[in-house]
């Protein structure tokens, strides 16, 4: 059933956010420490576990993929409900940060592409070249 | 007549927001195809339109919640609020599998961690230069420099102001768009022509739409390789930014 997927997602999020609050409390900071990230990690692991045992029905997967597909629309709604008028002064900051980050990341690509030892990927690359 | 419409709208806020966001996305994808030939992905244009709507809402009402300050559009705040946002973001990790990341090898995984931390640090440094000194704002802007999702998720988790969260979204958006447009131009200078460098690229840049769009314009065969690492970037960012990275920023800046 579709709700099983949605429910699994809900449980992962609740547990993640709960753990995040707990970490915040334990560390004495007024914040949710990594809750959403923990929830994502949980979902990946649980879905992986269920899939390998064929326990995740197609409707349940559809329940998950529906919410995954709603992500961009929800992000747009989020953007539309921000205090943009109040944040306009920060425009140059956003542009400088975004541009600087992309250029510095670009410059690191050749450096990191060279690194790494021979692994399964190497063969894949070789195969690509043959093709 | 208008009273009836207004009543229907205010009685069904969330439904109204689905209709409005759908229409916004339709326009955005239309513009993406016609004006930029798909070069700038529709989702990026849609977010820009969303920010513009928020500006209009803010200016016309003097409120701080963008378009949702206008009563008939209040549902936008519900749809884009923290609860559904986090729910949908967690859902995006459905489809990712750790078996995939093994293919990326050491350099791919390293690029992922370096990418998140580097973007964060650059964001924090630029925010410092622009006069922000509190750990919460610095962390949120740093997180936004990772992606426009990590920013608001982090900001909400650690209690940043809406202005700072908006800046973090905008920083991530700039990164995403520049990646879409710039990738094909720099590809040959940075050796972006094989699966390994595409995986490194996905890990370093991390913005899923930017990496996918940029690689598609460079060489469509590279897209799946870039996606292998980029898929994990936002998750890793949501994990690290409001935890380790925030605590470190807090330790340094108080």
Task: Report the pLDDT averaged over residues B108-129.
Answer: 95
Please state the domain count of chain A. 2
On whether both A78 and A101 belong to a single domain, the answer is no
Closest CA to B230 of B123, B126, B116: B116
Mean of the per-residue pLDDT values of chain B: 91
Which phi and psi (to 5°) does residue A69 adopt? -75, -20
Residue B186, C-beta contacts closer than 8 angstroms, at least 6 positions apart:
A106, B192
Task: Report the pLDDT averaged over residues A101-128.
Answer: 69
pLDDT tens track for B199-248: 999 999 999 888 988 998 888 899 888 988 998 999 999 999 999 999 99
Mean of the per-residue pLDDT values of chain A: 86
Do A106 and B190 make contact, defined as CB atoms within 8 angstroms? yes
Does residue B61 surpass a pLDDT of 80? yes
Identify which of B99, B127, B162 has the shortest CB distance to residue A97.
B127
On whether both A84 and A99 belong to a single domain, the answer is no
Task: Report the pLDDT averaged over residues B105-127.
Answer: 93
| Chain A residues touching B149 at Cβ < 8 A | 75
On whether both A27 and A84 belong to a single domain, the answer is yes
Q: How many CB atoms are closer than 10 A to CB B209?
A: 22
Q: How far apart are CA A96 and CA A99, in angstroms?
A: 5
pLDDT tens track for A19-39: 999 999 998 888 899 999 999
Sign of CA dihedral A129, B230, B34, B173: negative
Taking CA atoms, what residue in A is nearest to B163?
A87
Q: B4: distance to nearest CA of chain A, Å?
A: 25
Count Cβ–Cβ pairs < 8 Å, chain A vs chain B. 350
On whether both A18 and A46 belong to a single domain, the answer is yes
Structure tokens at B243: 């935890």
On whether both A68 and A119 belong to a single domain, the answer is no
On whether both A78 and A105 belong to a single domain, the answer is no
On whether both A3 and A58 belong to a single domain, the answer is yes
Range of the domain at A2: 1-90
Do B169 and A79 make contact, defined as CB atoms within 8 angstroms? yes
**What is residue B39's predicted lDDT score, i.e. its pLDDT?**
83
Does residue A117 surpass a pLDDT of 80? no
More confident of the two residues A18 and A122:
A18
On whether both A3 and A66 belong to a single domain, the answer is yes
Residue B232, C-beta contacts closer than 8 angstroms, at least 6 positions apart:
B96, B101, B112, B203
| Chain A residues touching B237 at Cβ < 8 A | 37
Enter the ipTM.
0.88
On whether both A86 and A96 belong to a single domain, the answer is no
| Chain B residues touching A7 at Cβ < 8 A | none
Does residue A131 surpass a pLDDT of 50? no
On whether both A31 and A76 belong to a single domain, the answer is yes
On whether both A84 and A109 belong to a single domain, the answer is no
On whether both A61 and A21 belong to a single domain, the answer is yes
Locate all alpha helices (DSSP H) within A1-119, ordered by sequence.
2-27, 35-52, 58-69, 71-80, 84-87, 91-114
Does residue B15 surpass a pLDDT of 90? yes
């Amino acid at each position: 059933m579709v709700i099983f997927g949605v429910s699994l997602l809900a449980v992962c999020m609740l547990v993640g956010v709960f753990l995040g609050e707990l970490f915040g409390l334990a560390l004495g900071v007024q914040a949710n420490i990594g809750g959403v990230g923990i929830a994502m990690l949980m979902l990946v692991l649980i879905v992986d576990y269920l899939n390998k045992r064929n326990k995740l029905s197609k409707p349940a997967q559809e329940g998950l993929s529906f919410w995954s597909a709603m992500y961009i629309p929800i992000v747009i709604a989020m953007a539309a409900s921000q205090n943009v008028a109040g944040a306009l002064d920060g425009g140059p900051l956003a542009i400088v940060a975004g541009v600087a980050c992309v250029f510095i990341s670009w410059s690191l690509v050749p450096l990191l592409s060279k690194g790494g030892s021979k692994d399964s990927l190497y063969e894949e690359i070789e195969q690509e070249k043959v093709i | 007549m208008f009273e009836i419409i207004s009543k229907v709208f205010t009685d069904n806020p969330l439904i109204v927001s689905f209709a409005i966001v759908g229409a916004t996305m339709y326009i955005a994808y239309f513009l993406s195809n016609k004006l930029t030939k798909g070069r700038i992905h529709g989702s990026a244009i849609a977010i820009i339109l969303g920010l513009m709507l928020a500006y209009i809402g803010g200016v016309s009402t003097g409120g701080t919640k963008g378009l949702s300050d206008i009563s008939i559009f209040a549902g936008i705040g519900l749809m884009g609020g923290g609860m559904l946002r986090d729910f949908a973001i967690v859902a995006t990790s459905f489809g990712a599998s750790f078996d995939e990341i093994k293919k990326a090898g050491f350099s791919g995984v390293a690029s992922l961690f370096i990418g998140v931390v580097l973007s964060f640090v650059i964001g924090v440094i630029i925010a410092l230069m622009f006069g922000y000194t509190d750990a919460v704002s610095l962390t949120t802007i740093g997180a936004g420099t990772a992606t426009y999702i990590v920013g608001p998720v982090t900001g909400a988790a650690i209690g940043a102001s809406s202005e700072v969260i908006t800046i973090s979204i905008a920083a991530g958006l700039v990164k995403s768009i520049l990646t879409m447009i710039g990738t094909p131009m720099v590809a040959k200078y940075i050796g972006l022509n094989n699966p390994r460098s595409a995986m490194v690229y996905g890990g370093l840049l991390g913005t899923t739409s930017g990496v996918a769009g940029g690689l598609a314009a460079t060489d469509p065969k590279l897209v799946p390789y870039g996606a292998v690492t980029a898929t994990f970037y936002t998750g890793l960012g949501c994990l690290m930014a409001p935890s380790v990275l925030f605590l470190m920023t807090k330790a340094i800046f108080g």
